[in-house]
Chain A
Amino acid sequence: MQRTLFLDCSRVSGLQKEDGSFQGDEWGEVDTRFSYCAVSCLSLLGRLDAIDTAKATEFLVRCRNFDGAFGCVPDAESHAGQTFCCVGALAILNALEHVDAPLLCWWLAERQVKAGGLNGRPEKLPDVCYSWWVLSALRILHRVEWIDKKALSSFILRCQDPDKGGFADRPGDMVDIFHTFFGLAGLRFLGDTSLADVDPAYALPVPTLRRMNIALPWLDEEARLAATST
Protein backbone atom coordinates (compact mmCIF):
# COMPACT_ATOMS: atom_id res chain seq x y z
CA MET A 1 0.00 0.00 0.00
CA GLN A 2 1.47 3.28 -1.10
CA ARG A 3 1.10 6.37 1.04
CA THR A 4 1.65 9.66 -0.70
CA LEU A 5 3.59 12.18 1.26
CA PHE A 6 2.70 15.74 0.51
CA LEU A 7 4.93 18.44 1.76
CA ASP A 8 4.17 22.08 1.37
CA CYS A 9 7.63 23.02 0.12
CA SER A 10 6.96 26.66 0.81
CA ARG A 11 7.56 25.83 4.47
CA VAL A 12 11.18 25.28 3.57
CA SER A 13 11.55 27.70 0.66
CA GLY A 14 9.92 30.38 2.78
CA LEU A 15 12.89 30.13 5.14
CA GLN A 16 15.38 31.16 2.46
CA LYS A 17 16.57 34.74 2.89
CA GLU A 18 17.53 37.42 0.34
CA ASP A 19 21.19 36.52 0.53
CA GLY A 20 20.51 32.85 -0.16
CA SER A 21 21.02 31.69 3.43
CA PHE A 22 18.41 29.71 5.36
CA GLN A 23 16.80 30.33 8.72
CA GLY A 24 16.15 27.24 10.83
CA ASP A 25 12.55 28.32 11.44
CA GLU A 26 10.48 31.49 11.88
CA TRP A 27 12.66 32.37 14.83
CA GLY A 28 15.35 33.53 12.44
CA GLU A 29 18.63 31.82 13.33
CA VAL A 30 20.86 31.56 10.25
CA ASP A 31 23.54 28.89 9.93
CA THR A 32 24.97 26.75 7.13
CA ARG A 33 23.51 23.76 9.02
CA PHE A 34 20.11 24.98 7.87
CA SER A 35 21.29 25.39 4.27
CA TYR A 36 22.25 21.73 4.37
CA CYS A 37 18.94 20.62 5.92
CA ALA A 38 16.88 22.60 3.41
CA VAL A 39 18.82 21.37 0.40
CA SER A 40 18.88 17.77 1.59
CA CYS A 41 15.19 17.43 2.38
CA LEU A 42 14.01 19.20 -0.77
CA SER A 43 16.36 17.12 -2.89
CA LEU A 44 14.96 13.92 -1.40
CA LEU A 45 11.49 15.13 -2.38
CA GLY A 46 12.64 16.09 -5.87
CA ARG A 47 11.77 19.71 -5.16
CA LEU A 48 15.01 21.69 -5.27
CA ASP A 49 13.16 23.91 -7.72
CA ALA A 50 11.28 25.36 -4.76
CA ILE A 51 14.34 27.39 -3.66
CA ASP A 52 16.80 29.74 -5.33
CA THR A 53 19.67 27.25 -5.70
CA ALA A 54 22.03 29.82 -7.24
CA LYS A 55 21.66 32.12 -4.25
CA ALA A 56 21.88 29.19 -1.85
CA THR A 57 25.21 28.30 -3.46
CA GLU A 58 26.36 31.91 -3.34
CA PHE A 59 25.80 32.06 0.41
CA LEU A 60 27.69 28.83 0.99
CA VAL A 61 30.62 30.17 -1.02
CA ARG A 62 30.67 33.29 1.17
CA CYS A 63 31.12 30.98 4.16
CA ARG A 64 34.30 29.56 2.65
CA ASN A 65 37.48 30.74 4.37
CA PHE A 66 40.98 31.21 2.99
CA ASP A 67 41.97 27.74 4.22
CA GLY A 68 39.31 26.23 1.96
CA ALA A 69 37.10 25.10 4.85
CA PHE A 70 33.73 26.52 5.94
CA GLY A 71 32.09 28.16 8.94
CA CYS A 72 28.51 28.66 10.15
CA VAL A 73 28.17 32.12 8.61
CA PRO A 74 30.59 34.28 6.55
CA ASP A 75 33.86 34.99 8.48
CA ALA A 76 33.15 32.34 11.12
CA GLU A 77 36.03 30.02 12.01
CA SER A 78 36.52 26.98 9.78
CA HIS A 79 34.90 24.02 11.49
CA ALA A 80 34.66 20.40 10.34
CA GLY A 81 30.95 20.11 11.20
CA GLN A 82 30.04 23.23 9.27
CA THR A 83 32.36 22.07 6.48
CA PHE A 84 30.40 18.84 6.14
CA CYS A 85 27.17 20.86 5.91
CA CYS A 86 28.56 23.08 3.17
CA VAL A 87 30.27 20.34 1.18
CA GLY A 88 27.21 18.09 1.49
CA ALA A 89 24.92 20.92 0.38
CA LEU A 90 27.18 21.93 -2.52
CA ALA A 91 27.35 18.28 -3.61
CA ILE A 92 23.56 17.99 -3.64
CA LEU A 93 23.32 21.33 -5.45
CA ASN A 94 25.78 20.00 -8.05
CA ALA A 95 28.08 22.91 -7.26
CA LEU A 96 31.27 21.27 -6.04
CA GLU A 97 33.29 23.39 -8.45
CA HIS A 98 33.19 26.01 -5.69
CA VAL A 99 35.24 23.77 -3.44
CA ASP A 100 39.02 23.92 -3.78
CA ALA A 101 39.23 20.17 -3.22
CA PRO A 102 43.00 19.76 -2.76
CA LEU A 103 43.17 22.73 -0.39
CA LEU A 104 40.13 21.69 1.65
CA CYS A 105 41.06 18.02 1.78
CA TRP A 106 44.46 18.97 3.10
CA TRP A 107 42.77 20.98 5.86
CA LEU A 108 40.54 17.96 6.54
CA ALA A 109 43.51 15.57 6.60
CA GLU A 110 45.22 17.86 9.11
CA ARG A 111 42.34 17.17 11.53
CA GLN A 112 43.98 13.85 12.30
CA VAL A 113 45.97 13.97 15.53
CA LYS A 114 48.75 11.71 16.77
CA ALA A 115 46.32 9.47 18.65
CA GLY A 116 44.65 8.69 15.33
CA GLY A 117 41.34 10.47 15.96
CA LEU A 118 40.05 13.55 14.14
CA ASN A 119 39.35 16.99 15.59
CA GLY A 120 37.07 19.70 14.27
CA ARG A 121 39.44 22.65 14.28
CA PRO A 122 43.22 23.09 14.62
CA GLU A 123 44.61 22.39 18.09
CA LYS A 124 41.42 20.86 19.49
CA LEU A 125 40.80 17.41 20.91
CA PRO A 126 39.69 14.49 18.71
CA ASP A 127 36.08 13.35 18.84
CA VAL A 128 34.43 10.36 17.17
CA CYS A 129 31.76 12.53 15.58
CA TYR A 130 34.44 14.05 13.38
CA SER A 131 34.86 10.60 11.91
CA TRP A 132 31.66 11.55 10.15
CA TRP A 133 32.01 15.28 9.52
CA VAL A 134 35.57 15.00 8.19
CA LEU A 135 35.38 11.60 6.55
CA SER A 136 32.14 12.20 4.68
CA ALA A 137 33.52 15.42 3.21
CA LEU A 138 36.72 13.59 2.24
CA ARG A 139 34.66 10.81 0.66
CA ILE A 140 32.52 13.23 -1.37
CA LEU A 141 35.78 14.73 -2.63
CA HIS A 142 37.39 11.31 -3.19
CA ARG A 143 40.30 11.73 -0.81
CA VAL A 144 39.67 9.47 2.18
CA GLU A 145 43.11 7.99 1.44
CA TRP A 146 44.75 11.19 2.61
CA ILE A 147 44.29 10.25 6.26
CA ASP A 148 45.79 7.32 8.13
CA LYS A 149 42.82 4.96 7.96
CA LYS A 150 44.24 2.35 10.30
CA ALA A 151 45.00 4.89 13.01
CA LEU A 152 41.51 6.36 12.77
CA SER A 153 39.89 2.95 12.81
CA SER A 154 41.77 2.07 16.01
CA PHE A 155 40.71 5.35 17.58
CA ILE A 156 37.04 4.78 16.76
CA LEU A 157 37.15 1.27 18.18
CA ARG A 158 38.81 2.54 21.35
CA CYS A 159 35.77 4.78 21.76
CA GLN A 160 33.47 1.77 22.01
CA ASP A 161 32.31 0.84 25.49
CA PRO A 162 33.05 -2.88 25.84
CA ASP A 163 30.21 -3.33 28.34
CA LYS A 164 27.48 -1.17 26.83
CA GLY A 165 28.46 -1.65 23.19
CA GLY A 166 27.83 1.92 22.08
CA PHE A 167 30.38 4.57 21.11
CA ALA A 168 31.42 7.70 23.00
CA ASP A 169 33.08 10.90 21.79
CA ARG A 170 36.40 9.72 23.09
CA PRO A 171 37.72 6.67 24.95
CA GLY A 172 36.21 6.24 28.41
CA ASP A 173 33.38 8.74 28.04
CA MET A 174 29.64 8.01 28.24
CA VAL A 175 28.16 6.43 25.10
CA ASP A 176 25.27 7.89 23.10
CA ILE A 177 23.36 7.20 19.89
CA PHE A 178 24.83 10.22 18.11
CA HIS A 179 28.44 9.09 18.47
CA THR A 180 27.47 5.48 17.82
CA PHE A 181 26.07 6.42 14.42
CA PHE A 182 29.10 8.50 13.53
CA GLY A 183 31.52 5.85 14.75
CA LEU A 184 29.82 3.13 12.70
CA ALA A 185 29.55 5.27 9.57
CA GLY A 186 33.20 6.21 9.97
CA LEU A 187 34.20 2.55 10.18
CA ARG A 188 32.20 1.85 7.04
CA PHE A 189 33.98 4.66 5.19
CA LEU A 190 37.27 3.23 6.37
CA GLY A 191 36.44 -0.07 4.68
CA ASP A 192 34.41 -2.25 7.05
CA THR A 193 32.03 -3.77 4.52
CA SER A 194 30.17 -5.80 7.14
CA LEU A 195 28.23 -2.56 7.60
CA ALA A 196 25.76 -1.27 5.00
CA ASP A 197 27.03 1.65 2.97
CA VAL A 198 25.98 5.12 4.08
CA ASP A 199 25.88 7.95 1.58
CA PRO A 200 28.35 10.69 2.62
CA ALA A 201 26.14 13.59 1.51
CA TYR A 202 22.71 12.43 2.70
CA ALA A 203 23.83 10.32 5.68
CA LEU A 204 21.27 7.73 4.59
CA PRO A 205 21.72 4.10 3.54
CA VAL A 206 22.84 3.87 -0.07
CA PRO A 207 20.41 1.07 -1.03
CA THR A 208 17.51 3.23 0.20
CA LEU A 209 18.65 6.21 -1.84
CA ARG A 210 19.17 4.09 -4.95
CA ARG A 211 15.71 2.62 -4.55
CA MET A 212 14.32 6.16 -4.39
CA ASN A 213 16.26 7.03 -7.55
CA ILE A 214 18.13 9.81 -5.82
CA ALA A 215 21.17 10.82 -7.89
CA LEU A 216 24.48 10.18 -6.12
CA PRO A 217 27.03 11.46 -8.64
CA TRP A 218 29.85 11.48 -6.07
CA LEU A 219 29.39 7.73 -5.53
CA ASP A 220 29.18 7.12 -9.26
CA GLU A 221 32.44 9.06 -9.67
CA GLU A 222 33.97 7.07 -6.80
CA ALA A 223 33.11 3.83 -8.58
CA ARG A 224 34.51 5.18 -11.86
CA LEU A 225 37.78 6.21 -10.17
CA ALA A 226 38.07 2.81 -8.53
CA ALA A 227 37.51 1.08 -11.86
CA THR A 228 40.12 3.17 -13.71
CA SER A 229 42.77 2.73 -11.02
CA THR A 230 42.69 -1.07 -11.13
Chain B
Amino acid sequence: MADEKPIAQREEWADVVPLPQDDGPAKICAIAYLPDFEESMNYFRAIVQRDERSERALWLTERVIDGNAANYTAWYYRAKCLEDLGKDPREELKFVEELAFDNAKNYQVWHHRRLMVERLGDAADGAAELQFTTEILDADDDSKNYHAWAHRQWVLKRFKLWEGELEYIEQLLAKDQRNNSAWNQRYFVVSNTSRREDGSFDRAVVEREIEFAFKYIARSPNNQSPWNYLRGFMKPLTAFPSIVERCEEMSKKYILCAHVFSLLVDVYESEGTAESLQKGIDTCGQLIERADIMRCKYWAYRKEQLEKKVAAL
Protein backbone atom coordinates (compact mmCIF):
# COMPACT_ATOMS: atom_id res chain seq x y z
CA MET B 1 0.00 0.00 0.00
CA ALA B 2 1.31 3.46 0.97
CA ASP B 3 5.10 3.61 1.03
CA GLU B 4 7.24 5.02 3.82
CA LYS B 5 8.57 8.38 2.57
CA PRO B 6 7.03 11.29 4.54
CA ILE B 7 4.81 13.55 2.45
CA ALA B 8 6.79 16.60 3.59
CA GLN B 9 9.81 15.17 1.76
CA ARG B 10 7.95 14.71 -1.50
CA GLU B 11 8.51 17.39 -4.11
CA GLU B 12 5.06 17.08 -5.59
CA TRP B 13 3.56 18.17 -2.25
CA ALA B 14 5.84 21.17 -1.68
CA ASP B 15 3.10 23.69 -2.49
CA VAL B 16 0.72 22.36 0.16
CA VAL B 17 0.79 23.67 3.72
CA PRO B 18 -0.35 20.88 6.04
CA LEU B 19 -3.23 21.79 8.35
CA PRO B 20 -2.91 20.48 11.90
CA GLN B 21 -5.93 19.21 13.82
CA ASP B 22 -7.67 21.88 15.90
CA ASP B 23 -8.43 20.22 19.22
CA GLY B 24 -9.45 23.51 20.80
CA PRO B 25 -7.95 25.08 23.92
CA ALA B 26 -8.55 22.20 26.34
CA LYS B 27 -7.26 18.90 24.99
CA ILE B 28 -9.25 16.23 26.77
CA CYS B 29 -8.00 12.68 26.17
CA ALA B 30 -5.68 13.72 23.32
CA ILE B 31 -5.03 10.76 21.07
CA ALA B 32 -1.42 9.67 20.69
CA TYR B 33 -1.33 9.64 16.89
CA LEU B 34 1.65 8.07 15.17
CA PRO B 35 3.73 10.64 13.21
CA ASP B 36 2.91 9.31 9.73
CA PHE B 37 -0.81 9.10 10.55
CA GLU B 38 -0.78 12.66 11.81
CA GLU B 39 1.09 13.83 8.73
CA SER B 40 -1.35 12.13 6.34
CA MET B 41 -4.27 13.72 8.16
CA ASN B 42 -2.64 17.18 8.17
CA TYR B 43 -2.17 17.06 4.40
CA PHE B 44 -5.65 15.61 3.93
CA ARG B 45 -7.21 18.51 5.83
CA ALA B 46 -5.31 20.94 3.59
CA ILE B 47 -6.52 19.22 0.42
CA VAL B 48 -10.13 19.06 1.63
CA GLN B 49 -10.04 22.73 2.55
CA ARG B 50 -9.19 23.70 -1.01
CA ASP B 51 -11.44 20.95 -2.40
CA GLU B 52 -8.68 19.70 -4.68
CA ARG B 53 -9.73 16.54 -6.53
CA SER B 54 -6.53 15.54 -8.27
CA GLU B 55 -4.49 12.38 -8.69
CA ARG B 56 -2.40 13.29 -5.68
CA ALA B 57 -5.59 13.88 -3.66
CA LEU B 58 -6.77 10.44 -4.69
CA TRP B 59 -3.42 8.96 -3.65
CA LEU B 60 -3.72 10.74 -0.32
CA THR B 61 -7.18 9.30 0.40
CA GLU B 62 -5.71 5.83 0.04
CA ARG B 63 -3.02 6.70 2.55
CA VAL B 64 -5.58 8.08 5.00
CA ILE B 65 -7.79 5.01 4.59
CA ASP B 66 -4.76 2.81 5.15
CA GLY B 67 -4.31 4.59 8.49
CA ASN B 68 -7.97 4.29 9.41
CA ALA B 69 -10.30 2.32 7.19
CA ALA B 70 -13.28 3.76 9.05
CA ASN B 71 -12.59 7.36 8.05
CA TYR B 72 -15.81 8.03 6.17
CA THR B 73 -14.68 11.55 5.24
CA ALA B 74 -11.73 10.08 3.37
CA TRP B 75 -13.94 7.52 1.66
CA TYR B 76 -16.43 10.15 0.56
CA TYR B 77 -13.66 12.45 -0.64
CA ARG B 78 -12.16 9.53 -2.53
CA ALA B 79 -15.54 8.88 -4.21
CA LYS B 80 -15.67 12.53 -5.30
CA CYS B 81 -12.11 12.39 -6.68
CA LEU B 82 -12.84 9.19 -8.57
CA GLU B 83 -15.85 10.81 -10.18
CA ASP B 84 -14.08 14.05 -11.12
CA LEU B 85 -11.07 12.19 -12.49
CA GLY B 86 -13.32 9.95 -14.55
CA LYS B 87 -11.90 6.79 -13.02
CA ASP B 88 -13.35 3.39 -13.91
CA PRO B 89 -15.49 2.08 -11.05
CA ARG B 90 -14.42 -1.45 -12.03
CA GLU B 91 -10.81 -0.65 -11.11
CA GLU B 92 -12.01 0.78 -7.82
CA LEU B 93 -13.97 -2.40 -7.12
CA LYS B 94 -10.68 -4.30 -7.29
CA PHE B 95 -9.14 -1.85 -4.80
CA VAL B 96 -12.08 -2.30 -2.45
CA GLU B 97 -11.95 -6.06 -2.81
CA GLU B 98 -8.40 -6.22 -1.53
CA LEU B 99 -9.28 -4.07 1.47
CA ALA B 100 -12.52 -5.87 2.17
CA PHE B 101 -10.99 -9.16 3.25
CA ASP B 102 -8.98 -7.45 5.97
CA ASN B 103 -11.79 -5.11 6.92
CA ALA B 104 -14.85 -7.24 6.38
CA LYS B 105 -16.76 -5.69 9.27
CA ASN B 106 -16.14 -2.11 8.21
CA TYR B 107 -19.24 -0.12 7.17
CA GLN B 108 -17.37 2.24 4.86
CA VAL B 109 -15.78 -0.41 2.69
CA TRP B 110 -19.17 -1.91 1.95
CA HIS B 111 -20.86 1.38 1.25
CA HIS B 112 -18.08 2.45 -1.09
CA ARG B 113 -18.40 -0.82 -2.97
CA ARG B 114 -22.11 -0.26 -3.34
CA LEU B 115 -21.51 3.27 -4.62
CA MET B 116 -19.13 1.97 -7.29
CA VAL B 117 -21.65 -0.67 -8.38
CA GLU B 118 -24.36 1.98 -8.57
CA ARG B 119 -22.07 4.16 -10.69
CA LEU B 120 -21.67 1.35 -13.19
CA GLY B 121 -25.42 1.35 -13.71
CA ASP B 122 -26.39 -1.15 -16.41
CA ALA B 123 -22.74 -2.09 -16.89
CA ALA B 124 -22.59 -3.48 -13.35
CA ASP B 125 -21.96 -7.20 -12.97
CA GLY B 126 -24.46 -8.45 -10.42
CA ALA B 127 -23.20 -12.00 -10.54
CA ALA B 128 -19.69 -10.79 -9.71
CA GLU B 129 -21.08 -8.88 -6.73
CA LEU B 130 -22.84 -11.97 -5.52
CA GLN B 131 -19.65 -13.98 -5.94
CA PHE B 132 -17.76 -11.37 -3.94
CA THR B 133 -20.11 -11.70 -0.98
CA THR B 134 -19.90 -15.48 -1.30
CA GLU B 135 -16.11 -15.26 -0.94
CA ILE B 136 -16.35 -12.94 2.06
CA LEU B 137 -18.84 -15.23 3.76
CA ASP B 138 -16.57 -18.15 3.03
CA ALA B 139 -13.45 -16.51 4.38
CA ASP B 140 -12.25 -16.86 7.96
CA ASP B 141 -15.35 -18.33 9.47
CA ASP B 142 -17.25 -15.18 8.55
CA SER B 143 -20.46 -16.75 7.34
CA LYS B 144 -22.54 -14.47 9.58
CA ASN B 145 -20.99 -11.17 8.50
CA TYR B 146 -23.90 -8.75 8.85
CA HIS B 147 -22.52 -6.32 6.22
CA ALA B 148 -21.94 -9.05 3.68
CA TRP B 149 -25.50 -10.29 4.09
CA ALA B 150 -26.99 -6.78 3.81
CA HIS B 151 -24.95 -6.22 0.63
CA ARG B 152 -25.99 -9.59 -0.72
CA GLN B 153 -29.66 -8.78 -0.14
CA TRP B 154 -29.21 -5.49 -1.96
CA VAL B 155 -27.53 -7.23 -4.90
CA LEU B 156 -30.20 -9.92 -5.13
CA LYS B 157 -32.99 -7.35 -5.24
CA ARG B 158 -31.24 -4.95 -7.61
CA PHE B 159 -30.16 -7.56 -10.14
CA LYS B 160 -32.99 -10.03 -9.52
CA LEU B 161 -30.58 -12.91 -9.09
CA TRP B 162 -32.94 -15.07 -7.05
CA GLU B 163 -32.19 -18.25 -8.92
CA GLY B 164 -29.75 -20.45 -7.08
CA GLU B 165 -29.97 -18.54 -3.81
CA LEU B 166 -32.00 -21.19 -1.98
CA GLU B 167 -29.42 -23.80 -3.00
CA TYR B 168 -26.64 -21.56 -1.76
CA ILE B 169 -28.39 -21.15 1.57
CA GLU B 170 -28.75 -24.91 1.89
CA GLN B 171 -25.04 -25.29 1.30
CA LEU B 172 -24.36 -22.87 4.12
CA LEU B 173 -26.77 -24.65 6.42
CA ALA B 174 -25.09 -27.93 5.59
CA LYS B 175 -21.84 -26.41 6.90
CA ASP B 176 -23.47 -24.75 9.90
CA GLN B 177 -27.16 -25.19 10.56
CA ARG B 178 -26.91 -22.61 13.33
CA ASN B 179 -26.20 -19.81 10.87
CA ASN B 180 -29.07 -17.47 11.70
CA SER B 181 -28.14 -15.16 8.83
CA ALA B 182 -28.69 -17.98 6.38
CA TRP B 183 -32.09 -18.67 7.92
CA ASN B 184 -32.99 -14.99 7.64
CA GLN B 185 -31.84 -15.06 4.03
CA ARG B 186 -34.14 -17.96 3.24
CA TYR B 187 -37.07 -16.00 4.64
CA PHE B 188 -35.94 -13.03 2.53
CA VAL B 189 -35.84 -15.10 -0.67
CA VAL B 190 -39.15 -16.88 -0.07
CA SER B 191 -40.73 -13.56 0.87
CA ASN B 192 -39.56 -11.89 -2.30
CA THR B 193 -40.33 -14.72 -4.69
CA SER B 194 -43.30 -16.60 -3.31
CA ARG B 195 -45.82 -14.17 -1.92
CA ARG B 196 -49.30 -13.83 -3.36
CA GLU B 197 -50.77 -10.50 -4.51
CA ASP B 198 -52.17 -9.87 -1.06
CA GLY B 199 -48.82 -10.51 0.63
CA SER B 200 -49.77 -13.91 2.02
CA PHE B 201 -48.09 -17.26 1.27
CA ASP B 202 -49.67 -20.24 -0.48
CA ARG B 203 -50.43 -23.14 1.83
CA ALA B 204 -48.01 -25.23 -0.25
CA VAL B 205 -45.19 -22.76 0.38
CA VAL B 206 -46.02 -22.60 4.08
CA GLU B 207 -45.94 -26.36 4.42
CA ARG B 208 -42.72 -26.65 2.45
CA GLU B 209 -40.99 -24.11 4.65
CA ILE B 210 -42.24 -25.69 7.86
CA GLU B 211 -40.97 -29.07 6.70
CA PHE B 212 -37.67 -27.47 5.82
CA ALA B 213 -37.35 -26.07 9.34
CA PHE B 214 -38.30 -29.39 10.89
CA LYS B 215 -35.62 -31.18 8.92
CA TYR B 216 -33.06 -29.18 10.89
CA ILE B 217 -34.98 -29.28 14.14
CA ALA B 218 -34.89 -33.06 13.96
CA ARG B 219 -31.10 -32.98 13.64
CA SER B 220 -30.59 -30.51 16.45
CA PRO B 221 -33.63 -29.58 18.54
CA ASN B 222 -31.69 -27.00 20.55
CA ASN B 223 -30.87 -24.90 17.50
CA GLN B 224 -32.86 -21.71 17.98
CA SER B 225 -32.82 -20.57 14.36
CA PRO B 226 -35.22 -23.05 12.73
CA TRP B 227 -37.65 -22.65 15.62
CA ASN B 228 -37.65 -18.88 15.01
CA TYR B 229 -38.03 -19.52 11.32
CA LEU B 230 -41.13 -21.63 11.89
CA ARG B 231 -42.88 -18.66 13.45
CA GLY B 232 -42.61 -16.74 10.21
CA PHE B 233 -44.90 -19.30 8.58
CA MET B 234 -47.06 -20.83 11.29
CA LYS B 235 -49.83 -18.28 10.99
CA PRO B 236 -52.21 -18.73 12.59
CA LEU B 237 -50.67 -21.07 15.15
CA THR B 238 -53.89 -23.06 15.39
CA ALA B 239 -53.81 -24.14 11.75
CA PHE B 240 -51.09 -26.77 12.13
CA PRO B 241 -52.34 -29.67 14.29
CA SER B 242 -49.78 -32.13 12.89
CA ILE B 243 -46.96 -29.83 13.97
CA VAL B 244 -48.43 -29.62 17.43
CA GLU B 245 -48.52 -33.42 17.57
CA ARG B 246 -44.89 -33.62 16.58
CA CYS B 247 -43.94 -31.12 19.24
CA GLU B 248 -45.93 -32.98 21.88
CA GLU B 249 -44.03 -36.15 20.95
CA MET B 250 -40.73 -34.29 21.11
CA SER B 251 -41.60 -32.83 24.49
CA LYS B 252 -41.61 -36.31 25.97
CA LYS B 253 -38.11 -37.05 24.70
CA TYR B 254 -36.40 -33.62 24.77
CA ILE B 255 -37.48 -32.60 28.23
CA LEU B 256 -34.85 -29.88 28.52
CA CYS B 257 -35.48 -28.32 25.13
CA ALA B 258 -37.08 -24.94 25.80
CA HIS B 259 -37.97 -24.36 22.15
CA VAL B 260 -40.36 -27.31 22.01
CA PHE B 261 -42.26 -26.25 25.09
CA SER B 262 -42.20 -22.59 24.08
CA LEU B 263 -43.99 -23.30 20.79
CA LEU B 264 -46.52 -25.47 22.58
CA VAL B 265 -47.34 -22.70 25.05
CA ASP B 266 -48.02 -20.32 22.17
CA VAL B 267 -50.19 -22.85 20.36
CA TYR B 268 -52.19 -23.74 23.46
CA GLU B 269 -52.75 -20.07 24.21
CA SER B 270 -53.97 -19.47 20.66
CA GLU B 271 -56.37 -22.40 20.87
CA GLY B 272 -57.91 -20.75 23.90
CA THR B 273 -60.14 -23.60 25.12
CA ALA B 274 -60.22 -24.52 28.80
CA GLU B 275 -58.28 -27.69 28.08
CA SER B 276 -55.67 -25.99 25.93
CA LEU B 277 -55.15 -23.15 28.38
CA GLN B 278 -54.60 -25.68 31.14
CA LYS B 279 -52.06 -27.52 28.98
CA GLY B 280 -50.41 -24.16 28.46
CA ILE B 281 -50.25 -23.54 32.18
CA ASP B 282 -48.73 -26.97 32.79
CA THR B 283 -46.18 -26.44 30.01
CA CYS B 284 -45.16 -23.12 31.55
CA GLY B 285 -44.58 -25.04 34.75
CA GLN B 286 -42.23 -27.41 32.95
CA LEU B 287 -40.32 -24.47 31.51
CA ILE B 288 -40.03 -22.78 34.89
CA GLU B 289 -38.85 -25.91 36.64
CA ARG B 290 -36.67 -27.54 34.05
CA ALA B 291 -36.60 -26.53 30.44
CA ASP B 292 -35.89 -22.79 30.65
CA ILE B 293 -34.97 -21.90 34.21
CA MET B 294 -33.00 -18.89 33.06
CA ARG B 295 -36.15 -17.22 31.79
CA CYS B 296 -38.42 -18.40 34.59
CA LYS B 297 -39.74 -14.88 35.20
CA TYR B 298 -40.91 -14.70 31.61
CA TRP B 299 -42.65 -18.05 31.89
CA ALA B 300 -44.20 -16.99 35.18
CA TYR B 301 -45.66 -14.00 33.34
CA ARG B 302 -47.00 -16.25 30.55
CA LYS B 303 -48.49 -18.62 33.10
CA GLU B 304 -50.21 -15.72 34.80
CA GLN B 305 -51.66 -14.53 31.49
CA LEU B 306 -53.02 -18.01 30.80
CA GLU B 307 -54.55 -18.24 34.26
CA LYS B 308 -56.31 -14.92 33.66
CA LYS B 309 -57.72 -16.30 30.42
CA VAL B 310 -59.00 -19.40 32.18
CA ALA B 311 -60.67 -17.24 34.80
CA ALA B 312 -62.29 -15.18 32.06
CA LEU B 313 -63.84 -18.17 30.27
Contacts and interface: CB of A to CB of B under 8 A. Distances in A.
Interface string A90-132: 0000000000000001100110101000000111100000000
A110 B228 CA distance: 11
A121 B184 CA distance: 11
B180 A122 contact: yes
A105 B295 CA distance: 11
Contacts of A109: 295, 298
A146 B297 contact: yes
B298 to A, nearest CB: 4
A66 B232 contact: yes
B180 A148 contact: no
B183 to A, nearest CB: 8
A219 to B, nearest CB: 21
Given A67-B231, A78-B184, A123 B225 contact: yes
A203 to B, nearest CB: 19
Contact of A76 (B149, B228, B294, B297): B149
A114 B225 CA distance: 16
A77 B107 contact: no
A44 to B, nearest CB: 21
A29 B111 contact: yes
Contacts of A112: 294-295
B149 A77 contact: yes
B188 A27 contact: no
B294 A151 contact: yes
B115 interface: yes
B76 interface: yes
B72 A25 contact: yes
A28 interface: yes
Given A26-B76, A66-B231, A77 B184 contact: yes
Contact of A28 (B107, B111, B178): B111
A76 B150 contact: yes
Contacts of B181: 77, 121
Contacts of B185: 77
A27 B231 contact: no
A73 B150 contact: yes
Interface residues of A, number: 33
A72 interface: yes
Interface in A13-29: 24-29
A156 interface: no
- Interface of chain A, helix or strand or loop or mixed? loop
B111 A145 contact: no
Contacts of A151: 294
Nearest to B188: A75
B301 interface: yes
A66 B191 CA distance: 11
A124 B144 contact: yes
B214 interface: no
B87 to A, nearest CB: 17
B240 interface: no
A151 B296 CA distance: 13
A66 B188 CA distance: 11
B254 interface: no
A151 B297 CA distance: 13
B132 interface: no
B133 to A, nearest CB: 14
A79 interface: yes
B191 A24 contact: no
Contacts of B178: 122-123
Contact of A121 (B79, B144, B297): B144
A121 B111 CA distance: 23
Given A25-B76, A123-B179, A79 B146 contact: yes
A77 B180 CA distance: 8
A146 B149 contact: no
Given A67-B228, A67-B231, A109-B295, A75 B144 contact: no
Interface string B117-148: 00000000000000000000000000010100
A198 interface: no
Contacts of B223: 123
A60 interface: no
Given A110-B224, A110-B295, 5 more contacts: A26-B76, A66-B232, A72-B150, A76-B146, A146-B298
19 contacts: A27-B76, A27-B111, A28-B115, A29-B111, A66-B231, A67-B231, A75-B191, A75-B192, A76-B146, A76-B150, A77-B149, A77-B180, A122-B228, A123-B223, A123-B224, A145-B297, A146-B298, A148-B294, A148-B296
Interface of B: 72, 75-76, 79, 107, 111, 115, 144, 146, 149-150, 153, 178-181, 184-185, 187-188, 191-192, 223-225, 228, 231-232, 294-298, 301
7 closest A-B pairs by beta carbon, nearest first, are A123-B178, A77-B184, A27-B76, A122-B224, A146-B298, A29-B111, A122-B180
Interface of A: 24-29, 31, 65-67, 71-73, 75-79, 105-106, 109-110, 112, 114, 121-124, 145-148, 151
